[in-house]
Structure 1
């Protein structure tokens, strides 16, 4: 499959990380970046005149570590923090998380295998290794979030994430599109999880392209089987861009 599709317009490319550019791992820190991915992203960054960004639930520093020495524009924690193309950073005010964290730690004590990931202004409770605790985690975190204004609960793949309310990947993509080098381009976004649906909805509303990576219901019109297929599609697209005559839109 060709993705992004060649519509004759300059493209701004937005990519999720976990499950999209890299296969999911048993532990978040164990994710492996395939050989050649960093070089491919660097090549696309040049071909798109800088209009390539990672839009992820991870903190910005995590992405820098995985993609070193490449430092891309990044929206981290679903857009609660980020780095613009010119290197300037943003960080939204962190909501109070003490109550939710206390509930999450109590759940950890009751269910061995749960992993709590504390982020700047958000936290994630992973239940991949304690699937029997999923319902209890959903119920008790939902109750804690309901008792604390300004928070929102996201349901991902074997993870529950608490983040600032109203912050989502679609909002992060629009933030990038308001500034060079993204402004005026057709947005294209690839993601794998329910947390990416807000990004899909946004780029489709703006006349762009959305691609779901992996299985599951989605509003995205395009689909690729997994990260390996996305890598192949992006490499093919990069070859197409390299073959275009100078001055043609990317």
Structure 2
């Protein structure tokens, strides 16, 4: 088992910057966004997350203005993201990059390790402890303990031991969750893959996220000359920060000519894909 390799945030400040310090979204931007805690507010349960009014029209508008160079990069399952973002069909990197859908709708599964025994152990453990929830994905297993924070050390012990006995995986530490995923995928690698394809290639990448699992994405875009945006508090390698998902959404609404908010969350057309 490998611990998730992530850039050290020790040299980064956790102090929130002044308003207006976020980088501009321009015609040559490639925009990458995390979902939970970034586009959407965190909720007590993953299934309880809801997008606020105006987000889907804003994404539709931004994707069109960027020629399709907008992708969601998340730890969620692909089907779950499509459900939240319907009727949009955006490029997606899901399960931390284990699956990726390009601008033409083609889906590539990069890794599907055998996690059946790990899933069994996590499910059995959760059945004996109130407040725990197991999320079984295509290429990952997550143990959520938001409703039982006193069980953090026990959850960590279980998931680390299970990961140690499963070849080719690593353990991620997220917000009230421990997740085992393939060791050869990350949000940073997923963003790099997008940047090698049209319509993302040749553009300046921006990536916004809120969790420790997003640090690899921040490091990747900044190594390519772009900028990372940390949403919320905590040490980070990102060079920019905004206070909350609401502040991040305001930044999206203000981009280009989008200063007047739309409230219709059911657009009838999806962004036109460009080669």
Give the TM-score taking structure 2 as reference length: 0.84
Length, aligned pairs only? 242
The structure-2 alpha-carbon separation of the partners of 1:200 and 1:134, relative to structure 1 and needing over 3 Å to count, comes to same
Q: Which residue of 1 aligns with 2:3?
A: none
Q: Which residue of 2 aligns with 1:210?
A: 228
Q: Distance in 2 between matches of 1:3 and 1:37?
A: 21
Could you list the structure 1 runs, at least 4 aligned residues long, displaced by more than 3 angstroms after superposition: 1-4, 6-9
Q: Which residue of 2 aligns with 1:96?
A: 114
Q: Distance in 2 between matches of 1:225 and 1:39?
A: 23
Q: Which residue of 2 aligns with 1:142?
A: 160
Of structures 1 and 2, the one scoring higher in RCO (CA 8 A, sep 6+) is 2
Q: Which residue of 1 aligns with 2:94?
A: 76
Structure 2: state its 5+ residue gaps.
1-18, 261-275
The structure-2 alpha-carbon separation of the partners of 1:172 and 1:103, relative to structure 1 and needing over 3 Å to count, comes to same
Q: Which residue of 2 aligns with 1:109?
A: 127
Instruction: State the Cα RMSD in Å.
Output: 1.7
Q: Which residue of 2 aligns with 1:17?
A: 35
Matched, 1:58 2:58: no
Q: Distance in 2 between matches of 1:89 and 1:96?
A: 20
Q: Which residue of 1 aligns with 2:151?
A: 133
Q: Which residue of 1 aligns with 2:180?
A: 162
Q: Which residue of 2 aligns with 1:245?
A: none
The structure-2 alpha-carbon separation of the partners of 1:3 and 1:169, relative to structure 1 and needing over 3 Å to count, comes to farther
Give the superposition deviation at 1:97.
0.7
The structure-2 alpha-carbon separation of the partners of 1:7 and 1:104, relative to structure 1 and needing over 3 Å to count, comes to closer
One of 224, 229, 233 as aligned partner of 2:242? 224
* Bigger proportion of residues as helix: 1
Q: Distance in 1 between matches of 2:23 and 2:107?
A: 31
Give the superposition deviation at 1:190.
0.1
| Maintained 8 Å contact 2:134/2:143 | yes
Matched, 1:177 2:211: no
Structure 1: state its 5+ residue gaps.
243-250
Give the superposition deviation at 1:60.
1.3
Q: Distance in 2 between matches of 1:164 and 1:241?
A: 41
The structure-2 alpha-carbon separation of the partners of 1:147 and 1:219, relative to structure 1 and needing over 3 Å to count, comes to same
Matched, 1:239 2:257: yes
Q: Distance in 1 between matches of 2:235 and 2:257?
A: 31
One of 36, 43, 63 as aligned partner of 2:61? 43
Give the TM-score taking structure 1 as reference length: 0.93
Q: What SS does the corresponding residue of 2:172 show, helix, strand or coil? A: strand
| Maintained 8 Å contact 1:22/1:31 | yes
Q: Distance in 1 between matches of 2:197 and 2:254?
A: 27
The structure-2 alpha-carbon separation of the partners of 1:22 and 1:6, relative to structure 1 and needing over 3 Å to count, comes to closer
Q: Which residue of 1 aligns with 2:105?
A: 87
